[in-house]
Amino acid sequence: MKVLMTEPLAEIDYRVSDPLAGERVDRAISFISGLSRSKVSELINEGLIRKNGIPVKKGSEKTLDGDILLFPNPENFTTRKLQPDQSVKFSTVYEDEHVVVVDKPSGLVVHPGAGRGDGTLVNGLLARYPDMSEVGDQNRLGLVHRLDKGTSGLLIVARTSTALENLKKKMENREIDRQYFAILCGHLSSEKGIIEAPLGRDPRNPIRRAVIPNGKSAKTHYRVMEKYSIPIKATIAECTLETGRTHQIRAHFSAIGNPVLGDQLYGGETLGNELGRPALHSQRIEFTHPVTGKELSFFSLLPTDLANLKSQLS
């Protein structure tokens, strides 16, 4: 069972003094709150723990005497089992007893996290495939990789522990090909290229990712498909991930001055109010079946909102 949020966050602030002065932040908060170190690490990754008003980036950061630590009240957490939810709507392009390939709609959160325990794709998967209840971490039930809430398209899910282990190794070894459709702001300076820049949590905004010297290696390949000038300058590009970092495409193109259209978090322009999400779609995925060894390839057509957006460009 996992620790899930059930109530809105309420913060506790704590002034550090001996004997916690000089201790790691994650250990100090675990001692103060009674939360497990793994849960504290999750909260740090979500940007929900701050030291002197600044989000903590690593649990290994040291405390000083007089530091003010702010963290969610542990009373807002409870231990309960992941619940199936038949109301969660999603379609699939492939399924067998080992693997499911989901075509995720935009707006659907993939898995439970801080502040969100129900109504996710994982809840829907459990309702549709009860046999997956023991596959992998409960909060990320069978997920081989993830898509952001606003990103639509293809996503691989394993239905057995054996398949999950195999597919995760393939992902780590870069043996799963993922291609994205993106509408970018402005015109790219070259018709194809590689953006290779390390990504980590943006020190100015814990929700964002940014190119930082000590970030994790990240590489995005792109190829320009079309360019437009009316009503705004925009470029359609096919993007292939060599690595799979959080917000990788969004952060990389923002870093070179061509954020994804509609991506307000990363400075992307909007074209009217009809989209309400980044113009990003996981359109193709190719991998070797973890059991049969068969080569599988799937393609997802553009959803209506992106197709309509594309039609407005000329």
Q: How confident is the model at residue 73 (pLDDT cuts 50, 70, 90)?
A: confident
Enumerate long-range contacts of 198-202, CB under 8 Å, 24 or more apart.
199/245, 199/246, 199/247, 199/248, 199/251, 199/252, 200/57, 201/47, 201/55, 201/57
Q: How confident is the model at residue 287 (pLDDT cuts 50, 70, 90)?
A: very high
* Residue 118 one-letter amino acid: D
- Identify the pLDDT of residue 35: 80
Q: How confident is the model at residue 34 (pLDDT cuts 50, 70, 90)?
A: confident
What secondary structure does DSSP assign to 99-155, as a single string? Answer: EEEEEEPTT---S-BTTB-SSSHHHHHHHH-GGGGGSS-GGGTTBSS---TT-EEEE
The span from the CA of 254 to the CA of 21, in Å, is: 39
- Identify the pLDDT of residue 8: 42
The answer on pLDDT for 11 being more than 90 is no
Percent of the chain with pLDDT over 90: 70
85 assigned to active site = no
pTM of structure: 0.77
25-39, 143-157, 219-233, 273-287, range with the lowest pLDDT: 25-39
User: Who wins on pLDDT, 30 or 299?
Assistant: 299
User: Who wins on pLDDT, 206 or 305?
Assistant: 305
18-27, 185-194, 269-278, range with the lowest pLDDT: 269-278
What is the CA 130 to chain-centroid distance, rounded? 24
The two structure tokens encoding residue 84: 């199936």
21-25, 35-39, 112-116, 139-143, range with the lowest pLDDT: 112-116
82-91, 178-187, 251-260, range with the lowest pLDDT: 82-91
> Whose CA is closest to 91, among 128, 133, 116?
128
Residue 295 contacts residue 166 (beta carbons within 8 Å)? no
Element housing 27 (H / E): helix 25-33
- Identify the pLDDT of residue 114: 54
- Identify the pLDDT of residue 76: 64
The answer on pLDDT for 291 being more than 90 is yes
Mean of pLDDT over the chain: 90
- Identify the pLDDT of residue 170: 97
The span from the CA of 280 to the CA of 169, in Å, is: 26
CA distances from 279 to 29, 126, 270, 271, 286 (A): 39, 29, 10, 11, 22
Write the pLDDT tens digit of every residue in 45-68.
888 899 999 999 999 999 999 999
Catalytic residue among 148, 202, 263, 305: 148
**Residues 6 or more apart whose Cβ sits within 8 Å of residue 130:** 84
Average pLDDT score over residue span 295-308? 96
Q: Which domains does the chain have, with CATH numbers?
A: 2-76 (3.10.290.10), 81-173 (3.30.2350.10), 179-281 (3.30.2350.10)
The span from the CA of 274 to the CA of 119, in Å, is: 24
